[in-house]
């Protein structure tokens, strides 16, 4: 009998469900379902369509079983920080809000003014992002205090769905580290942050990633079967990093998708002011280690350009856009891809053109130049992060290893290789789903340790490599363009 594990990977633009199984000592994936994640905007606020997503998760289990797959377990991962609130009678009281709304507020600034940046970072060393759970809770306190007053439980997105499926309430370590309420040294919620910001007693219990939490309740999926629900590394970046098979000692890891999440693995978070000064996050990994990480804006820029051009969001469009960039003149300008003005603009092409004037005083004339400048900007930023991490963590990176859908963009992978002067290894493309699946195999005892996880991934997937072609030219261009 062949058994399957289901990985539900929810991303900002869509959900994907894969069934994984072990076959001839390899992990083999088959796609079960895909569905869009349509954000709903009401009165200027963007909401996730949470019940639509839940229905699609149930539907995906039904599809897998109708296909005759013997499903042993299911694990859900998603973006970080966002949450649903339950009242004492287990009623969902808010429709979870999209984290990008927070770019329109200055709640984080207010919190920093109240207690100081360093104080917050010493208690919870994650990057200062206006959308961190802490600031979202403070936004509720300000704009919807009545919601919090009747809340009993806060559950991040995967945990909310796990609760719907099993009635068990828990969050995993990897997700907890995205909240900025988690104390990395004590490895628990930070009591002082909770006290200082008067956060109600709504935070869930924290379990290690790769833990079984309960079985899908009877009667909610079509077939009456026992399916174990596992908390994988439920933060998608945590799962993506779990799928990187290169040696963590001297590899710069990248999860390349909407974000270009770039980081290095450490066992414990070093005490260093420079982490905060460079806005680096310490986020939890599947094995309890941490990644020191920069959230670099990634394919979000290209998604925005596609929207500005009113083109359909499909592979053909991406190929067309990449071809335009390839044919454009290199190094026309430099933009800081992480500038707040690029995080939620009405028109991405216009915003990038304005950013170019702001950052380099150079005008971008046509769309091809805009696309190329965006891709070069991402690669430049990866290199800046690499250099910072090398200095702060005293690592000498030997290679870059990237996973995720963004690695399909060969031009960007080559740019990263040139900008960093390092070999870039890519694969698996479905990194997050693979990390989710190995978390489940670990929770079920099939894989015993992290060595076994890495070996399984190495023998199961194809990898591609890129060698730097012109690193000197890139260094020179960066020196000239960055003011
Ligand atoms: C990527 C991601 C990032 C997190 C951002 C918001 O999907 O999870 O790691 O910073 O989304 O949650």
Rounded to whole angstroms, the Cα distance separating 331 from 411 reads 14
Q: From the CA of 127, give the closest atom in ligand 1.
A: 10
Closest by Cα among 90, 36, 275 to 263: 275
Q: How far is the CA of 118 from the centre of ligand 1 (A)?
A: 23
What is the structure's pLDDT at 13? 87
Terminus-to-terminus CA distance in the chain, angstroms? 62
Q: How far is the CA of 79 from the centre of ligand 1 (A)?
A: 5
What is the structure's pLDDT at 365? 93
What is the structure's pLDDT at 7? 98
- Report whether 124 contacts 181 (CB < 8 A): yes
What is the structure's pLDDT at 386? 98
3-class secondary structure, 482: coil
Based on the residue annotation, tell me whether 347 is a catalytic residue of this protein.
no
Neighbouring C-alpha atoms within 13 Å toward the C-beta of 216? 23
Residue 236 CB–ligand 1 contact under 6 Å? yes
- Outline where DSSP puts E strands in 323-458: 399-403, 423-426
What is the structure's pLDDT at 1? 82
Residue 80 CB–ligand 1 contact under 6 Å? yes
What is the structure's pLDDT at 460? 98
User: What ipTM score was computed for the predicted complex, to two decimals?
Assistant: 0.96
Residue 181 CB–ligand 1 contact under 6 Å? no
Residue 453 CB–ligand 1 contact under 6 Å? no
- Report whether 453 contacts 241 (CB < 8 A): no
Q: How far is the CA of 80 from the centre of ligand 1 (A)?
A: 5
Kindly give the confidence (pLDDT) of every residue in the chain, 483 residues in length, as a single tens digit, with 9 standing for 90 and above.
Answer: 899 999 999 999 899 999 999 999 999 999 999 999 999 999 999 999 999 999 999 999 999 999 999 999 999 999 999 999 999 999 999 999 999 999 889 999 999 999 999 999 999 999 999 999 999 999 999 999 999 999 999 999 999 999 999 999 999 999 999 999 999 999 999 999 999 999 999 999 999 999 999 999 999 999 988 999 999 999 999 999 999 999 999 999 999 999 999 999 999 999 889 999 999 999 999 999 999 999 999 999 999 999 999 999 899 999 999 999 999 999 999 999 999 999 989 999 999 999 999 999 999 999 999 999 999 999 999 999 999 999 999 999 999 999 999 999 999 999 999 999 999 999 999 999 999 999 999 999 999 998 999 999 999 999 999 999 999 999 999 999 987
Rounded to whole angstroms, the Cα distance separating 426 from 431 reads 10
Residue 259 CB–ligand 1 contact under 6 Å? yes
Q: How far is the CA of 436 from the centre of ligand 1 (A)?
A: 15
- Report whether 59 contacts 112 (CB < 8 A): no
Q: How far is the CA of 92 from the centre of ligand 1 (A)?
A: 23
Rounded to whole angstroms, the Cα distance separating 82 from 263 reads 22
70 beta partners: 3
- Distances, alpha carbon 338 to alpha carbons 84, 132, 297, 346, 378, in Å: 28, 16, 6, 16, 9
Of 82, 153, 236, 287, the catalytic one is 236
Give residue 370's Cα distance to chain centre: 25
Q: From the CA of 259, give the closest atom in ligand 1.
A: 1
Residue 242 CB–ligand 1 contact under 6 Å? no
Residue 190 CB–ligand 1 contact under 6 Å? no
Full-model pTM: 0.96
**Which of 237, 291, 297, 404 has most ligand 1 atoms within 8 Å of CB, for mutation?**
237
Residue 283 CB–ligand 1 contact under 6 Å? no
Q: Whose CA is nearest to atom 1 of ligand 1?
A: 79
Domains of the chain: residue spans and CATH: 3-236 (3.30.420.40), 246-427+448-483 (3.30.420.40)
What is the structure's pLDDT at 224? 85
């Amino acid at each position: 009998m062949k058994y399957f594990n289901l990985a539900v990977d929810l991303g900002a633009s869509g959900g994907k469900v894969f069934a994984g199984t072990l076959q001839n000592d390899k992990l083999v994936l088959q796609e079960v379902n895909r569905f869009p994640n349509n954000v709903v905007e009401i009165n200027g606020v963007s909401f996730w369509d949470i019940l639509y997503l839940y229905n699609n998760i149930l539907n995906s289990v039904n599809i897998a079983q109708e296909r005759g797959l013997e499903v042993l377990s299911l694990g859900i991962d998603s973006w970080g920080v966002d949450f649903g609130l339950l009242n004492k009678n287990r009623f969902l009281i808010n429709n979870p809000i999209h984290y990008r709304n927070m770019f329109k507020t200055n709640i984080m600034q207010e919190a920093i003014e109240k207690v100081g940046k360093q104080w917050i970072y010493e208690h919870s060393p994650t990057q200062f992002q206006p959308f961190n759970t802490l600031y979202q809770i403070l936004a509720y306190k300000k704009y919807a205090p009545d919601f919090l007053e009747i809340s009993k439980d806060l559950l991040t997105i995967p945990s909310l769905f796990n609760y719907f499926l099993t009635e068990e309430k828990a969050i995993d370590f990897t997700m907890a580290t995205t909240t900025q309420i988690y104390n990395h040294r004590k490895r628990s919620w930070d009591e002082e942050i909770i006290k200082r910001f008067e956060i109600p007693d709504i935070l869930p219990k924290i379990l290690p990633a790769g833990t079984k939490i309960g079985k899908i309740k009877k009667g909610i999926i079509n077939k009456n079967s026992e399916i174990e629900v596992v908390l994988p590394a439920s933060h998608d970046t945590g799962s993506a990093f779990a799928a990187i098979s290169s040696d963590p000692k001297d590899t710069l890891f990248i999860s390349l998708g909407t974000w270009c999440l770039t980081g290095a693995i450490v066992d414990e978070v070093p005490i260093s002011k420079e982490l905060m000064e460079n806005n680096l996050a310490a986020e939890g990994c599947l094995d309890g280690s941490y990644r020191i990480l920069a959230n670099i804006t990634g394919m979000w820029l290209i998604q925005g350009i596609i929207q500005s051009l009113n083109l359909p969001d499909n592979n053909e469009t991406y190929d067309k856009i990449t071809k335009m960039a390839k044919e454009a003149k290199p190094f026309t300008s430099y933009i800081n891809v992480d500038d707040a003005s690029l995080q939620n603009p009405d028109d991405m092409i216009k915003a990038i053109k304005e950013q170019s004037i702001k950052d380099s005083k150079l005008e971008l004339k046509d769309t091809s130049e805009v696309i190329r400048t965006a891709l070069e900007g991402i690669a430049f930023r990866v290199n800046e992060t690499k250099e910072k991490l090398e200095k702060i963590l005293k690592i000498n990176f030997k290679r870059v290893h990237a996973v995720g859908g963004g690695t399909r963009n060969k031009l960007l992978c080559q740019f990263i290789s040139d900008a960093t002067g390092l070999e870039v290894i890519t694969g698996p493309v479905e990194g997050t789903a693979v990390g989710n699946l190995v978390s489940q195999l670990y929770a079920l005892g099939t894989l015993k340790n992290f060595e076994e996880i890495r070996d399984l991934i190495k023998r199961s997937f194809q990898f591609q490599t890129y060698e730097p072609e012109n690193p000197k030219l890139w260094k020179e261009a960066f020196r000239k363009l960055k003011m």
